[in-house]
């Protein structure tokens, strides 16, 4: 067995990547790396391999030639194959991405679809040590932390599929030497020489320059990535153990974080908690550099309640009194319109159900035992129809238990109602525009019940 084959097999075994009995989808572009991976894995798992080729449609006849070459390899090895074409240029335009990023995202989606359609449990790609070096340097240029220095993961789950990188134990030189020793041909992509692309500039200009001072650069960065990967795993475990205490509430649009608990964590764990929140909100991290995480941590520590911070990917961080909120602003809902309430009856307003009842001779204990989402009003002192509407700047009311009028906004501030919680606050008023209830926070001094309570309007919010 060739040295490269031995190294790869040992690497697979040491990192528990051997997919015993599992069907492997092998991504083959036709380039040296993926062709070498095909030859190596065929020796180890011939009966479990399914070939996938993604045609990015970027190089015309050359792309078609790559496709035909991969088809010929599948025939030579007697392995099943599926080819999927993707329109990278259109995807890049629609999503406003670089061609590099659009190609990567389109390729991942295509591979996931092929794997799903052919019941492949593992997807193998041919990333190697040089790819890892380029990735780490690229991240350093943008600004990164220990997670970024961990480089390309040996094993990850993307779009619900497990990806493995069996060649991260070999350099590009070792791969090409392996192919040449066995007189194996491969396809060349001339766009890999185009230095207008950042990764190509790093590959053809920066790394050769650095290698002059450190001939072991590729191995040294590979070692650095391994150590940072161990650190990353440890930080992920710590973050996972405290996440439930830090994340007070969570839905598809926002996560609220306990400020005190968050600030008690070490800086690396704080970064990991933020990263996790962004991922759980589906925001992605492509636009984020380490500097963004530092700003968020500083904001959580020092910002006053009510302040906000806009960060990439349409995300806003808002500070509350004892918590801060990470909010995805994609597909923001329009402001609710005012609505006349059915009295008696049910009304839907701003995704809430408002139930109004007219009751007579209500007992005092019913009023005392009500929750915050229910209020009672003196029927004789209100003028129908009642309506529900969003808060507006300058709204005023007479809070129950206080003297005189107060601006609703200032009242909410004095009650320490978080900025996020204020989004759920609305007004219920009568036909004379008298505010009866800043719901569900405080009723007003209007339509107070008297000792007789002969006829009341009961309003409940669900």
* Same-domain status, 324 and 345: no
Residues 353 and 267 in one domain: no
| Strands of the sheet with 339-340, listed across from one edge | 339-340, 387-390, 426-429, 435-439, 442-443
Q: What is the pLDDT, as a whole number, of residue 156?
A: 93
Indicate if 77 and 170 belong to the same structural domain.
yes
CATH number at residue 318: 3.30.465.60
Beta bridge partners of 124: 26, 164
Domain assignment present for residue 140? The answer is no
219 domain residue, yes or no = no
Indicate if 78 and 205 belong to the same structural domain. Answer: yes
- State whether 251 and 356 are in the same domain: no
Per-residue pLDDT of the chain (462 residues; tens, 9 = 90+): 899 999 999 999 999 987 677 899 999 999 999 999 999 999 988 778 999 999 999 999 999 999 999 999 999 999 999 999 999 999 999 988 888 889 999 999 999 999 999 999 999 999 999 999 999 999 999 888 889 999 999 999 887 889 999 999 999 999 999 999 999 999 999 888 989 889 999 999 999 999 999 999 999 999 999 999 999 999 999 999 999 999 998 887 889 999 999 999 999 999 999 999 998 888 878 788 889 999 999 999 999 998 999 999 889 999 999 999 999 987 555 567 899 999 999 999 988 899 999 998 888 888 888 899 999 999 999 999 999 999 998 899 999 988 899 999 889 988 888 777 788 899 999 999 999 999 999 999 999 988 776 789 999 999
Whether a cis peptide bond, with omega within 30° of 0, leads into 440 is yes
- Residue 193 falls inside a structural domain: yes
Q: Specify the pLDDT at position 333.
A: 53
**Residue 207: domain span:** 3-126+166-213
Residues 195 and 241 in one domain: no
Extract long-range pairs of 436-440: CB within 8 Å, 24+ residues apart: 436/375, 436/377, 436/382, 436/386, 437/375, 437/377, 438/391, 438/397, 438/399, 438/408, 438/411, 438/412, 439/375, 439/388, 440/372, 440/373
What are the φ and ψ backbone dihedral angles of 52, each rounded to 5 degrees?
-125, 135
* Spatial contact of 164 and 44, defined as CB atoms under 8 Å apart: no
Nearest CA among 164, 80, 174 for reference residue 129:
174
CATH number at residue 92: 3.40.50.620
Distance CA 258, CA 265 (A): 11
> Domain tally for the chain?
3
Q: CB count, 10 Å around CB of 27? A: 24
């Amino acid at each position: 067995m060739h040295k490269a084959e031995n190294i790869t097999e040992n690497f697979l075994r040491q990192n528990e990547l051997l997919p015993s009995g599992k069907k492997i989808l092998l991504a083959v572009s036709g380039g040296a790396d993926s062709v070498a991976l095909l030859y190596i894995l065929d020796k180890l798992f011939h009966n479990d391999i399914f070939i996938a080729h993604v045609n990015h449609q970027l190089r015309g006849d050359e792309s078609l030639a790559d496709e035909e070459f991969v088809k010929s390899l599948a025939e030579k090895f007697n392995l099943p194959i599926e080819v999927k074409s993707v329109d990278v240029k259109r995807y890049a335009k629609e999503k406003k991405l670089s061609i590099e990023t659009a190609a990567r995202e389109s390729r991942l989606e295509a591979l996931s679809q092929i794997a799903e359609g052919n019941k492949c449990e593992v997807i193998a790609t041919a990333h190697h040590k040089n790819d890892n070096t380029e990735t780490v340097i690229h991240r350093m240029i943008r600004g990164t932390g220990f997670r970024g220095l961990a480089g390309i993961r040996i094993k990850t789950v993307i779009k619900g599929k497990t990806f493995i990188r069996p060649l991260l134990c070999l350099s590009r030189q070792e791969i090409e030497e392996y192919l040449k020793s066995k007189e194996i041909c491969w396809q060349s992509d001339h766009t890999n020489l185009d230095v207008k692309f950042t990764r190509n500039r790093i590959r053809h200009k920066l790394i050769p320059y650095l290698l002059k001072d450190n001939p072991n650069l590729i191995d040294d960065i590979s070692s650095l990535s391994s150590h940072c990967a161990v650190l990353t795993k440890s930080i992920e475990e710590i973050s996972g153990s405290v996440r439930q205490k830090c994340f007070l509430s969570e839905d598809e649009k926002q996560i609220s974080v306990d400020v005190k608990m968050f600030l008690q964590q070490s800086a690396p764990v704080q970064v990991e908690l933020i990263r996790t929140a962004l991922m759980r909100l589906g925001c992605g991290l492509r636009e984020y550099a380490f500097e963004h995480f530092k700003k968020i941590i500083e904001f959580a520590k020092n910002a006053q309640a009510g302040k906000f911070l806009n960060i990439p990917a349409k995300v806003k961080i808002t500070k509350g009194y004892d918590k801060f909120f990470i909010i995805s602003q994609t597909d923001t809902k329009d402001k609710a319109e005012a609505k006349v309430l059915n009295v008696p009856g049910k009304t839907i307003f701003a995704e809430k159900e408002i139930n109004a009842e007219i009751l007579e001779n209500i007992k005092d204990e019913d009023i005392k035992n009500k929750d915050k989402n229910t209020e009672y009003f003196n029927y004789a002192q209100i003028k129908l129809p009642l309506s529900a509407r969003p808060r507006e700047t300058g709204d005023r009311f007479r809070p129950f238990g206080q003297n005189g009028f107060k601006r609703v906004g200032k009242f909410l501030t004095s009650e320490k109602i978080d900025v996020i919680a204020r989004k759920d606050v609305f007004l219920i008023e009568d036909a004379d525009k008298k505010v009866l209830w800043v719901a569900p926070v405080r009723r007003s001094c209007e339509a107070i019940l008297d000792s007789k309570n002969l006829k009341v309007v009961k309003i409940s919010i669900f």
